[in-house]
Amino acid sequence: MTDASSPDDYLLHTQPWQSQTGDGPLLRGRRRDGAGPLLHFLHGNGLCGGVYWPMLRRLGEHGLFCHDYEGHGASERPAQFSGTRALIRRIPQIIDEQIGAQPLIGIGHSFGGALSLRVAAAHPQRFRALVLLDPILLPPSAYFGLRLAATLRLNPMSRAARRRRAHWPTREAAYRHLHQRGIYRGWSDEAFAAFIEYAMREAADGGCELSCPGALEGAIFDHPVYPWRALPKLRCPTLILYGQDSYGFMAGAMRRAAHSNPLLQVEALPGGHCFMLEDPETSAARIRAFLAQHTP
């Protein structure tokens, strides 16, 4: 399945689900039945599952479950960010409610990679394998500094997210303004079209806007997931793929991760932090090969 695809194919080949845990916002996503272990996918900050359809559709006939966090994709926006602990707590609750005891293959990008890591380490019986795509594994010493920067509102990524333009008169205008700029530079046309389709929504006052508000994206940047105690606890084969041109800390973090657990494989692929959106086919091919080896 390597031919070009319309963003609408995501809706044609998946079905909606929704769930509300406790007093949290109503969460939504998409799912697809299939053969073998189910692919459980968690997206990056500010994105949503549909953005990754160009890669996900190429992963074969596995079932698929895409979980969009609060304020992302079609999920409800919270009054304020619930916090990473709440997200980590909700994910297995939704797995139990929506999926049951079916074995899982966890796949996550960036923030979603760190979340997948934490959930798989805490619930090892649920996961057959794990694929982490440029997961945010900051140096351990950086987390205290980020907490301080958040308190002082000095986190540069958070500040940039809060300042980012979020509204356009039409999706076509948003496409023209964002195409091949900033984080979207180098993305394939298919992936960027999926972003415009699924990571944006109709605005109440007309036009369209980013589904994830800048304040929420910034709050997530201010509260990164701490991964280092979870890595040694993984009990399933794990592939970490990272972009050769990703963040400067990534190569060192990958070396540290590789030494933390013998079940980990670490490999670099061409591209930046969003390499799987730059070249979905190459990323999918590497993931398929890993899954064929470890999930017969």
Section 279-291 average pLDDT: 98
Section 67-82 average pLDDT: 96
This prediction has a pTM of 0.95
Q: Quick check: is 286 in a domain? A: yes
Q: Higher model confidence: residue 274 or residue 224?
A: 274
Q: Quick check: is 172 in a domain? A: no
Closest CA to 214 of 135, 157, 143, 149: 157
In this predicted structure, the answer to whether residue 68 has a pLDDT above a threshold of 50 is yes
Q: What is the pLDDT of residue 126?
A: 96
Q: What is the pLDDT of residues 207-243, one digit of tens each?
A: 999 999 999 999 999 999 999 999 999 999 999 999 9
Q: Quick check: is 113 in a domain? A: yes
Q: Quick check: is 72 in a domain? A: yes
List Cα–Cα distances, 187 to 94, 128, 279, 280, in angstroms: 31, 30, 7, 9
Q: What is the pLDDT of residue 2?
A: 46
Angle at 161 between CA 121 and CA 91, to 5 degrees: 25
In this predicted structure, the answer to whether residue 111 has a pLDDT above a threshold of 90 is yes
Q: Computed over its alpha carbons, how large is the radius of gyration of the chain?
A: 18
Q: Quick check: is 89 in a domain? A: yes
Q: Quick check: is 213 in a domain? A: no
Residues 6+ apart with CB under 8 A from 181: none
Q: Quick check: is 230 in a domain? A: yes
Q: Find the CATH number of the domain harbouring 56.
A: 3.40.50.1820
Banded pLDDT at 153 (limits 50, 70, 90): confident
In this predicted structure, the answer to whether residue 150 has a pLDDT above a threshold of 90 is no
Q: Higher model confidence: residue 152 or residue 68?
A: 68
Q: What is the pLDDT of residue 144?
A: 79
Domain that holds residue 118: 13-140+225-294
Q: How many domains does the chain have?
A: 1
Q: Quick check: is 47 in a domain? A: yes
Please give the share of the chain, as a percent, with pLDDT higher than 70: 97
Q: What is the pLDDT of residue 1?
A: 44
